[in-house]
Chains A and B, each alone.
Chain A
Amino acid sequence: MEKSPENKANKRREFIRSTARLTLAIGIGGVSGLALSKSTKEEWVWQIDPFECTQCGRCAEECVLTPSAVKCVHAFDLCGYCDLCGGYFKPGVIDLHTGAENQLCPTAAIKRDFIEEPFFEYTIDEDLCIGCGKCVKGCSAFGNGSLHLQIRHDLCLNCNQCTIARLCPSDAITRAPASKPYNFKGDFTKS
């Protein structure tokens, strides 16, 4: 029985299989070991560098979410609280009244509140904002650039490869460590 040819063949087969298994195990171990030597405990999230962003409008169109997880964020510290806000009013408005025909935002997501003469506060309604960056362009051209686009992580699905990042013409979207998930403009006294 021990020396039957069938048994011999079985043993040989088992040996080949064990060797193959060991080789594969070494393969997995090698690749994952190499990756492990570089790996981080930290997760990655996608974020926009507002200084690279050129407001091409793709954030509104290319995100896998509708509406996009990119929203306009207001760095109040940088805002001039202007009456004639380049990010709020359409270019060329004559009377500064808040009628829809005067508003730049395609979804009327910017709220304008009177603070005191002659200052006005502008806040973004993120439920309405589609992340098109139109107001960002207006604010950067005529104002201080306090409005800027950021990826909102309560919405972002954190795709393995962000579609907008791939199509961003100015390579403004990169992976950021999850511990520093935002690139807000300005200096903030976090409360």
Chain B
Amino acid sequence: MKKIFIYIIVVVLGLLILVIILGDFMSGEIKDKANNPYAYEFDEFKAVDPSMIKFKEARRIGLNIEGPKAIDVKNDLIAIAYKDHLQVIDSSGLERINMPIKGPLTAVSFSPEGALYLACQNYVLVLSPEGKTIDRWEDFGEKTLITAIAFKDTVTFLADAGNRQVIRLNTKGEILDSFDGTGRLDGNYGFILPSPYFDLEVDPDNQLWVVNSGLLKVENYTDDGAVRAFWGKPSFEIEGFTGCCNPAHIAIMEDGSFVTSEKGLTRIKVYKPSGELDCVVAAPDDFEGDSEPADIAVDENGKIYVLDITSGKIRIFERNII
């Protein structure tokens, strides 16, 4: 009698072992371990009220070179700086210039005269509209990392993210002076740049606007480096900027409106010259997940050129005609 009891136990245990091993093994590798209980959720902030979106994507231009970095637009010409290439195409997509450059390139700008200014980390190349090298400006400092170039009359501004300063140059590329933004209105922080996103633009009224990305603000500076005005507020909502350092890139339209591009919540928005939100150009869902912030440029007709770095495309947005 006792022996039978043992036999039963043995058989039951043997079957149990078989069921556990085979059950686990046969359930396949990829199963219902699907969702992530620790997902970082910010979908609610990705959603944008459709009535806020007043632009539509009119065209896309696919890029045939790896690693686009920066974009600028002038007179029907689009300049794209890649990691180690410069490419200029016209609006029909026809290639005008394609030249390798010992990079890494960090910024590109058309001067008002149509010359091409290229920032290569710590030096600047000045190219003729045909792509011939005219000048090379260097020796800005050891840590220099130029992230933007803008022009005002005879002055060229460089945004030096590495040294957290704005450099003013004359037409020959000689340093006039530089400022670090400590002449602020409230507090005395200067430019706070947790990451290498540091853009500046000159508006149609010849005012210099610098993005103090760590403070999530866009600031207007006088010629001697004092803050005259600023706008921008930290918020996850659509009106504000969020994260460590936003907006990553700005562009200014003919009417003085600001176009902003953000990282994290990759959205493109238009702000009125007063700093009040005007409308949305592209919502986060228009970009692939975990996209790098897109560089942006605007042309004379108010079209917005978005350099979608992650997918390697130029996406051209036009304002809806009401």
Tell me the A residues contacting B by CB distance below 8 Å.
55-58, 60-61, 79-82, 84-86, 91-94, 104, 106, 117-118, 132-134, 137-138, 140-144, 166-167
Total number of A-B contacts with CB less than 8 angstroms?
86
Known: A82-B244, A84-B243. A141 touches B195 (CB 8 A): no
Q: Which of B114-148 contact A (CB under 8 A)?
A: none
Q: Is the CB of A144 within 8 A of B195?
A: yes
Q: Which of B208-246 contact A (CB under 8 A)?
A: 214-216, 234-236, 242-245
Q: Is the CB of A141 within 8 A of B37?
A: no
7 A–B pairs (Cβ distance < 8 Å), ordered by A: A80-B193, A91-B40, A91-B42, A118-B189, A132-B37, A137-B40, A140-B290
Whether a CB of chain A sits under 8 angstroms from the CB of B49 is no
Known: A91-B41, A92-B45, A143-B244. A86 touches B264 (CB 8 A): yes
Q: Is the CB of B45 within 8 A of A81?
A: no
Whether a CB of chain A sits under 8 angstroms from the CB of B102 is no
- Identify A80's interface contact among B44, B45, B194, CB under 8 A: B194
In the assembled complex, the Cα of A143 lies from the Cα of B90 at a distance in Å of 35
What number of B residues sit within 8 Å (CB to CB) of A? 31
Whether a CB of chain A sits under 8 angstroms from the CB of B263 is yes
Q: Is the CB of A133 within 8 A of B216?
A: no
Whether a CB of chain A sits under 8 angstroms from the CB of B5 is no
A37 nearest CB across to chain B (Å): 33
Known: A92-B44, A143-B195. A117 touches B234 (CB 8 A): no
A143 nearest CB across to chain B (Å): 4
In the assembled complex, the Cα of A61 lies from the Cα of B234 at a distance in Å of 35
Whether a CB of chain A sits under 8 angstroms from the CB of B2 is no
User: Other CB < 8 Å A-B pairs besides A106-B38, A138-B40, 17 of them?
Assistant: A55-B40, A61-B37, A80-B194, A80-B245, A81-B194, A82-B194, A84-B234, A85-B244, A86-B243, A86-B264, A134-B39, A140-B290, A141-B290, A142-B243, A142-B264, A143-B243, A167-B33
Q: Is the CB of A82 within 8 A of B245?
A: yes
In the assembled complex, the Cα of A91 lies from the Cα of B45 at a distance in Å of 8
In the assembled complex, the Cα of A10 lies from the Cα of B189 at a distance in Å of 96
Q: With a CB–CB cut-off of 8 A, which chain B residues contact A104? A: 40
Q: With a CB–CB cut-off of 8 A, which chain B residues contact A118? A: 187, 189, 192, 214-215
